[in-house]
Every structure is written in structure tokens, then in C-alpha cells.
Structure 1
Amino acid sequence: MAESNFIDYVKFCSRSGAGGAGSLHFRREKHVPKGGPDGGDGGRGGHIILRGNAQLWTLLHLKYKKHVIAEAGKPGEGGRRTGANGQDVILDVPLGTVAKDAETGEKRFEITEDGQEVVLTKGGRGGLGNHHFKTSTNQAPHYAQPGESGIEEWIILELKLLADVGLVGFPNAGKSTLLSALSAAKPEIGDYPFTTLVPNLGVVSYRDDRSFVMADIPGIIEGAAEGKGLGIRFLRHIERNSILLFLIPADTELISKEYQILLGELEKYNPELLDKKRLLAISKSDLLDEELMNEMKSEIPEGIPYVFISSVTQFNLEKLKDMIWQAIQSS
């Protein structure tokens, strides 16, 4: 995922089509001098619709769409002919896309399945033709309904990556290196903070042709929930991961302290994240001997499954995959 191509936020004006006007028409034929009202109904205005597409992974194709406008419905005609509906506009979006009202911030819905279609902005109803208004006391109504106006609103689309496992850790904890070692993903890797500026997804092969999806989320720093560092821009991607894998390097000052800081940032952003299943991997463990590992076990928070790993030497990576798979199956 190149940085320029990964777009997870767009804002645009969504305008549905107005309904067509009902027809004011009377039947006129050679041998029917006093034909009754026969004006048809107007057509419905076009909807703006979001459709899930599993082949997409970014909102890049919508980045420059500032206005999305659907067609108006056609007016009704004589002979009770209904006008054509306005053509709907269908926007394909990646799975995990959330639609929000730009003014209130209210969440409308979320697209989670391939082919799922949800009306974002509803088209106006067509007006009724004058034949609907004929009564015993008014045989020739000179009235038909106008079409209902379309809706114009500002919409925000946010993408939350769909992955089984989300990697959580400080910058330079080795998340990208781990994803690269476990999958075919090729994230940018460097020995400095914020190498990863966009989320990366990788498919991790497991035993018997099974697999799971892992997401490398850009590093969290203390204060991320308040917007420091890369801020909360990428924290929302963790919301869709069923398992959170905390990655803390072996050369950190105190494992439990770093773990609590990471946990605190997640809680500040969204307390529901603490309900997710958590695992811990101590990265860069090729720096440790067995004696040091045993000493460090006392620093590990209670109740969380953990494993010492090294992405460079492949140490315990199979054990890590076993731990993740077991957590996925029991979640």
C-alpha cells in the first residue's frame, strides 16, 4: 500500500434526484368527448447508494468526488403513464466503510459484506397524477402533485480495515518486520519512528492451508488519543480487528509500563477496545539469552498470553501463529 494510494477518509456532498411531477391530463379521443382525468404519476428521483466491494481496499477512487448527484425522476404522462425513475448512483466502497453525517458526526451504517447495498441518500418521491384526485363531486380535478425534492447533505466515509489481528505497539517496535516475516506483505521498514505511515495488510499462512489476516497499524505514542504523533487517524482501524497483538521490544525499559501506556491510549480512544482479546509478543528476543527471558517473565502483565519472538531469526514465529490461531478460534 503506497502512502499516496491509501485513502481512508473522504467527505463529499450527496444530492439525490427530485421526484418527477404528476401529470395534469384528461383523456381526449374522437368518440370520447368527456374522457376523465388520466394523468400519470411522476417517477422517483435517483438514490445515492453505497455497495460493498471486496476487491477495493481504499477510498482513493472517491477522493476527488466532491459532489455526487443523482438524476431526477421524469414527469408522468397522459394515459396514466408513470414517468421513468431517475437513475441511481452506486458508489463501490471497501468492506469496513462507515458512513457518517458530516454535520452531526452521527453514524448511519457500515458496509461489511461484498455486494451489500445500502441507500445513503434517498431520492424524492414522484408526484401523483390527477387521476388520483377524481371524486364523486370533482369529476375533472385540475390538480396534480409536484415531485418531492431530492435531499442534499454532506457525508463522511471512513474506512476501518477488516483484519483478524491488529498489531499494537510504539513506533519502531518491529510491527512491519513481523508482518513481513509472517506474510507476503512488503511494508516499508526502517530503524526510525513512524516508518509506517499507512496501515498494511498481510495474509498469514497457517497449517493445513488455513490463513488469517494481520494488520500493521502505524505506531501509537503516549498522547495519541489526544492527537499527538500520527494522532487518532489510524486508531479506528484497530476497532475492526477481533484480536489485538501487542508488540513490545525486548530492549524496552519495562514491559508492563509500556503495555499499560498502550492500553491507556486505546481506552481513551474507545473503551470498548478493552473488550477485545489481547495477546503479547516480546519482539527482538534474539538479543536475549534464556536466563534474561526468565528474568523478564516477572515484568509481564498477568492474564495475557505471551511469547518471546524474533522476526529476524524466525524464533518462535510458529508458536506465535499457534497462539493467534487459537485466540481467533475461541473469539
Structure 2
Amino acid sequence: MSESKGSAELLIEGVGKRFGDVVALDRVSLRVAKGELLTILGPSGSGKTTLLKVVAGFETPDGGSVKVGGAEITSLPPAKRDIGMVFQNYALFPHLTVKANVAFPLEMRNVGRAEIEKRVSEALAMVELAGYEARLPRQLSGGQQQRVALARAIVFNPRLLLLDEPFGALDRKLRETMQLEVRRLQRRLGLTTIFITHDQEEALVLSDRIAVMNKGAIQQVATTTEIYEHPANDFVADFVGESNIFHGTVSAPGTVALDGGGSVKVTSDKPVGTKVGVLMRPERFGATGANLFAGEVIESVYLGTSFKLRLALEGSRELLVRQPARGTLPAAGSRATVGIEPDAIHVF
């Protein structure tokens, strides 16, 4: 299979959806560029799967529009949208062989038999399942079944590929392998792709950009680096990666007075008097720094390459710290001092 010629930009504008009193989607707008892999990341109930269903045509929005390649598809039935989908539960036909499962979308489009043979063979080769054509789904492992589902989703050169938590049922090692395979395949085909997950690490591995959702609204859309290093608000900072979040007021240029006492030196141009959030990632701490924190170790965990420490600070605050695993793991009840530089602190 060559690069997907039909791959297209997706434009979602002001999409809303209610289920009774529950606002599932709150006027959501989102643009996914042609050939981009965008992950929608959020907790259960955030609206991410509802948004995917609206794009796929399985849910009708109460308002707003969905366009693919500039063409309005909001009212089109799913079968007319030319969108490939992969689900967590694979959704394979149990009575059909691997070959018949992958051929199904082509048969529904009345593609000629010779072309079907060619495309199915190419799709199975791309997901490394050549030679499995005659097997039934029950004769395959979970990872192999997901590869069949992926082959079926790309075999008709869709304009858009949607993946709804496709690796949730797989063990960690296999999940990581499949993540890299999907990324490789998506780049090779140039397919515009939306990937749904609640797994922040998965989102960081796969994505060109991430859209973080909560309570039916998009909190931030940005590159993986921007989402992690410069989250827009408390929710994004807390949901993506481990975090230490404090609040305070800019008391002087480059200084934030923390609520509850104390202050930190930061690199921020926010004006004096501004109420701000302060984010310090656990791995940004070292033995020294312009900002020093001393406290009692209340939890210490050995993680192979690092130590994970939880420190009790003055004022009922706690600090989560990750340090390279050198020397002896600090014991609970011992004292520790860590530091962080101003440019390692994000102010929002």
C-alpha cells in the first residue's frame, strides 16, 4: 500500500452534545492537519469517546459541524464517511478468516476481486501478518487480532483513521510494541489519525499533538513537549505526568509568594499581584538549586533507574521528587534537602 492519497484535514467546529442533563461535549472545536496524529487524552467521562463517535457518525451532535477535507459530513451515515476505525475489543467477525475480515470493507465498496486480493495482501504484510490469511480470530493472540483490525481499517485507504483506546486490553510490553507499530504505519501512510486514550505515557509516545479533555471541553491543544513542559492549567499539569502544583501570587519580578508561606524564584514575566499556579516536575529536582526545600522523607521507593521520594515540608505541604538511583535509598523518617532552578519551574 502506498501513501494514503485520500488522507484529509479534519475540522470540528462548535460541536455540542448532551445526554439529558449531562453535557458530554461543550462546543468543542478542533483542527487536525492532514497527515497528523493527534491524541485526545482525558479521564473516563471527559467526552473523548463521544467526540470520536460524533466524528465517526455513531452520534449526532446537538450543534456544530464536522468537516473532512473541507466537505461537511455532520449528517452523513458512518458508511459514507470513508473513515477507518479500530476499537479496543477488536470488533472482528469471529466466523470469518483473517483474509475475509480485512477484505470486508472492500467488498462493501464493490472493489474488484483482483484488487481486493492485492490490497488485502499488502495490508496484512504491513501489519506483519502475511501467512495468517486462513486463520480465524480465535486462533490469534490479542496483539495479532488488533493487527487484523488495523489492517481492516487501512485497507480501503480511508481519509481519516480513528483509534479508540485500541491497546487497553493488551499487556504492557505488547502495548508498547503496538504503539510503535501504529506510529510507524501512520507515518508511512501519511494518514490523518485521531487516537483516544486515558494513558498519558501512550499519548506522549504516539502524538504529534495532544488535545487534553475534561468535562466535555478541551483544556489545551499543543505538542507533546508543550503539554508536558508548559501546561495551561491545574488540570493539564496534574493529569499529564507527575507533578507538584502550588499556588501563590507574584510578589516581585521573578518571585512567587506561595499560599501558606514561603516563596520561590521563577523565570516569569507575569506582573506583580497576579495569582498564579506553580508547577515543579519531580525529575527537575537536584541536590542544589536556587530554590531549596528541606523535609522529612515519608515515602521512598526504588524504581530501578531512580528513587521516588515524598517529602513532608513545613506548612503541611508535600513534595514529590525523583532522583537518579545512586547510593543508598533514603529511609523513611530521614531528612533530605533538594533544590530546583527557576528555569525548571513553570508558572501558569
TM-score normalised by the shorter chain: which range applies? Answer: under 0.3
Instruction: Output the TM-score relative to the length of structure 1.
Output: 0.26
Larger fraction in strand: 2
Normalised by the size of structure 2, how large is the TM-score?
Answer: 0.25
More helix by share: 2
Larger CA Rg, structure 1 vs 2: 1
